Amino acid sequence: MCSCQMALWCLAAYLACHVPCIEMRVDDLEQPAVKYNEPPAPPPVPAPPRPELKHGKCYHMPRERCPTTAKCARTDPASVFCCDVDSFRLKEALAIVMMPNTTNLHVLNASIEELDVSQAVFRRLASMAFTDGNIGKIVGQFPKYSPIACLNISNNNLTTAKLQPSIQRPFAYLFNLTVLDASANNLTEFPLSLVQSNRKISVDLSGNNYLPCKHFQKAMEANNNNNSSLVTFLNYKNTYCALDLVFNWFKDVKIVQIDHLRIQTELNVSCRNITPAGINCTCVPERLELLSAGVTNLVAVDCSRRHLAQLPANLPPNTVKLNVSYNNITSLQAVSDDPSYEHLRQLIVDYNDIDNIVELEGSKFIDNFMYFSISHNKLKTIHTYVLSNKFDTTGIFTAFSIGGNYIHCDCNTEKVLKPWLLENSRNIPDYRALQCAHGGPVVELREGDPWLLENSRNIPDYRALQCAHGGPVVELREGDVCHAPRDWTDYIYYIIALEALVLALLVAKVSYDYWVFKSAGYLPWPANKMPRLPCDWLCE
Ligand SMILES: *C1O[C@H](CO)[C@@H](O)[C@H](O)[C@H]1NC(C)=O
Ligand SMILES: *[C@@H]1O[C@H](CO)[C@@H](O)[C@H](O)[C@H]1NC(C)=O
Ligand SMILES: *[C@@H]1O[C@H](CO)[C@@H](O)[C@H](O)[C@H]1NC(C)=O
Ligand SMILES: *[C@@H]1O[C@H](CO)[C@@H](O)[C@H](O)[C@H]1NC(C)=O
Ligand SMILES: *[C@@H]1O[C@H](CO)[C@@H](O)[C@H](O)[C@H]1NC(C)=O
Ligand SMILES: *[C@@H]1O[C@H](CO)[C@@H](O)[C@H](O)[C@H]1NC(C)=O
Ligand SMILES: *[C@@H]1O[C@H](CO)[C@@H](O)[C@H](O)[C@H]1NC(C)=O
Ligand SMILES: *[C@@H]1O[C@H](CO)[C@@H](O)[C@H](O)[C@H]1NC(C)=O
Ligand SMILES: *[C@@H]1O[C@H](CO)[C@@H](O)[C@H](O)[C@H]1NC(C)=O
Ligand SMILES: *[C@@H]1O[C@H](CO)[C@@H](O)[C@H](O)[C@H]1NC(C)=O
Ligand SMILES: *[C@@H]1O[C@H](CO)[C@@H](O)[C@H](O)[C@H]1NC(C)=O
Ligand SMILES: *[C@@H]1O[C@H](CO)[C@@H](O)[C@H](O)[C@H]1NC(C)=O
């Protein structure tokens, strides 16, 4: 670890313990700057009148006020301001200008290889600022009980490595520190020791984009007994943190604004409210979206592999993605019924036990979805009408995934579903993986055949009863599924033709018999062998 950095932090903490009223101290520091604005500095004012106080600011002078005659000058009895110095000149100038009662120091643009904070000249400072320079290293340790309340090391090209060669916790002794400005550097570690002393502190870490988010989260979670945060982030909006691999909430984003952490904390709370209770879904911000109402955090919820028998309810507000893969869910009804599903755009229910999508008919989800994956379920039919007009080429691209379902295939499947799949293949990337219910033994169907199993004792070769089809729906051939009905109709035609033929023969025979009877006077066989019937009398 960087001992230099730690030393600084220790020093800050050390100083902090000596000042009871921090705010007052900071106010005192501000006052000199205001006084300086009056051009002629008349004899020191006896009791400082304390004009406007800038809370959370160290003694700080702009470049225009740089001393012209020397490197350092007193701007008021308690404050010293230096500009454009190197280590040697700084030492020299401070030796002259620092008084025992000097409590404020601002050094602008110091080019120093090693800044030793343990020097006696800094011992009495309550406000110490080394800004807008280039500091090679910060060494030494602030003395025990240092009164420093405000420390500004902004914009010095500092890295964590430069902060801590020798001492582990640089700010450990800064017990009176209430403001730390380490902005515009390149620190990679957060001064966590600052938040371990149970004191309130304001820190500005903006412009250090490589500080791990984990550290910020810890600092944000640090509360005193009163549940108010110990750490206030100055320049909050411009403070960013880096997500490392473990803290992998925001997938494609490396550097995020720290407000995302607060959002995540709130999200964790609503995530725990998902029912059934205790299923430990994880909820992450999916992305920000500008809506008319302002910026909205869209949420992705993952409840996969939770042994759920039904869809979870009471999702966090603005849930747009839900992953409930690998559960035992049988129904999609909640998607239509539960109001917390109304913003859903992506639903992943792979590897469940759902047997139809009819429950989604007319739901908001069907109108809105961009991705719906229901692969490896127990769908028996694809009710394509539920998805009518969904895959129009206009509008947002929509993907639907249904592979790994073993549906019941018949002629209708071949005539309706197969063309539908082919037509929408762009939107159904895995359309080739939609299967007809197994060819192969009926009893090895996913559901089996209960009747067959029940009566297996009486049907010794029950295992040999085969299903007709198997294989991808798109490879169904008309001949496989539609031949039975066609045979039947063909047969009907044969029968009709045969009947017509028989009728014609009959008519011909009767006509022939009549002609023979009329001309020869006898009836040919078999008419002459037929018994006389009552109606025959009528004929004669
Ligand atoms: C540090 O602050 C405490 C109160 O917070 C105060 O009593 C003490 O005098 C301060 N220490 C110094 C050295 O100013
Ligand atoms: C620290 O110094 C920077 C750069 O000069 C300045 O912008 C900032 O306001 C100072 N911070 C505090 C807390 O005084
Ligand atoms: C600080 O000390 C100097 C000389 O020791 C003195 O002139 C000045 O009045 C003192 N200032 C205050 C505010 O006490
Ligand atoms: C900072 O000080 C160095 C000398 O120490 C000087 O060369 C440089 O110009 C100064 N930078 C600015 C911005 O004035
Ligand atoms: C910042 O420090 C590095 C060394 O750590 C140095 O190479 C670089 O020139 C410095 N940048 C500036 C702007 O001084
Ligand atoms: C800041 O630190 C990061 C990581 O350590 C490094 O990649 C980057 O170049 C540094 N930036 C500057 C300006 O030194
Ligand atoms: C909690 O905060 C309130 C006001 O915000 C304050 O009156 C009270 O003393 C605090 N309690 C503790 C234990 O800090
Ligand atoms: C802090 O405590 C107050 C009551 O003391 C409570 O109303 C508030 O919700 C709490 N805040 C957090 C963030 O827990
Ligand atoms: C949110 O909860 C997850 C565990 O589900 C935890 O790892 C993470 O640290 C929490 N984040 C915040 C900001 O509380
Ligand atoms: C959820 O997490 C809690 C504690 O982390 C654990 O006790 C519980 O068993 C988990 N529940 C499930 C369903 O994993
Ligand atoms: C859904 O969850 C499963 C299991 O955790 C995972 O393998 C899959 O990649 C997730 N799918 C999406 C689209 O996030
Ligand atoms: C859920 O399904 C798995 C296999 O898919 C099975 O092992 C498990 O027993 C089922 N759980 C319940 C509660 O049905």
Every domain of the chain and the residues it spans:
3-40+47-237, 484-539
Residue type, 299: V
- Most informative mutation of 199, 226, 228, 230 for ligand 7 (most atoms within 8 A of CB): 226
The residue written with tokens 């810890």 in the block is 218
pLDDT at position 289 is: 65
| The two structure tokens encoding residue 9 | 């932090």
Distance 90 CA to ligand 1 centre (A): 28
Cβ(132) – ligand 4 distance below 6 Å:
no
pLDDT in tens, 348-365: 999 999 999 999 998 999
Contact 138, 158 (CB under 8 A): yes
- Nearest ligand (C-alpha, residue 46): 3
Cβ(19) – ligand 1 distance below 6 Å:
yes
Residue closest via CA to ligand 12's atom 4 equals 328
pLDDT at position 247 is: 37
Contact 117, 138 (CB under 8 A): yes
CATH number of 3-40+47-237: 3.80.10
Residue closest via CA to ligand 6's atom 12 equals 186
Residue type, 22: I
Strands (E), 94-153: 104-112, 115-116, 127-131, 134-135, 138-139, 150-152
Contact 161, 190 (CB under 8 A): no
The residue written with tokens 């031949």 in the block is 483
Residue type, 273: N
What's the rounded Cα separation, in Å, for the pair 354 and 254? 38
Cβ(210) – ligand 6 distance below 6 Å:
yes
The whole-number average pLDDT for the span 7-21 is: 43
Residue closest via CA to ligand 11's atom 10 equals 323
Chain-centroid distance of CA 311 in Å reads 19
The whole-number average pLDDT for the span 410-438 is: 88
What's the rounded Cα separation, in Å, for the pair 20 and 512? 135
| The two structure tokens encoding residue 239 | 């403070």
Cβ(401) – ligand 11 distance below 6 Å:
no
**257 membership: H or E segment, kind and range:** strand 255-257
pLDDT at position 346 is: 94
pLDDT at position 390 is: 85
- Nearest ligand (C-alpha, residue 97): 3
The whole-number average pLDDT for the span 145-155 is: 91
Residue 285: strand pairing partners: 299
* C-alpha angle 166-167-169 in degrees, rounded to nearest 5: 155
186 CA closest ligand 6 atom index: 1
**73 membership: H or E segment, kind and range:** strand 72-76
The whole-number average pLDDT for the span 320-347 is: 95
Distance 286 CA to ligand 11 centre (A): 14
What's the rounded Cα separation, in Å, for the pair 540 and 538? 5
Cβ(60) – ligand 2 distance below 6 Å:
yes
Q: How many residues does the chain have?
A: 540
User: Per-residue pLDDT for 507 more than 70?
Assistant: yes
Which residue in 396, 311, 298 sits closest to 352, CA to CA? Answer: 311
Q: Please state which of the ranges 56-70, 157-171, 223-237 shows the lowest mean pLDDT.
A: 157-171
Cα torsion angle, 415, 416, 417, 422, sign: positive
User: Per-residue pLDDT for 151 more than 50?
Assistant: yes
| The two structure tokens encoding residue 322 | 């839900």
More confident residue, 227 or 486: 227
133 CA closest ligand 4 atom index: 1
Residue closest via CA to ligand 9's atom 2 equals 268
What's the rounded Cα separation, in Å, for the pair 239 and 209? 8
Three-state secondary structure of 229-253: ECEEECCHHHCEEECCCCCCCCCCC
More confident residue, 35 or 304: 304
What's the rounded Cα separation, in Å, for the pair 11 and 146? 7
What's the rounded Cα separation, in Å, for the pair 451 and 455? 6
More confident residue, 402 or 465: 402
Contact 370, 398 (CB under 8 A): yes
Residue closest via CA to ligand 6's atom 13 equals 186
Residue type, 169: R
Contact 148, 142 (CB under 8 A): yes
Q: What confidence tier does 261 reach under pLDDT thresholds 50, 70, 90?
A: confident
Contact 298, 322 (CB under 8 A): no
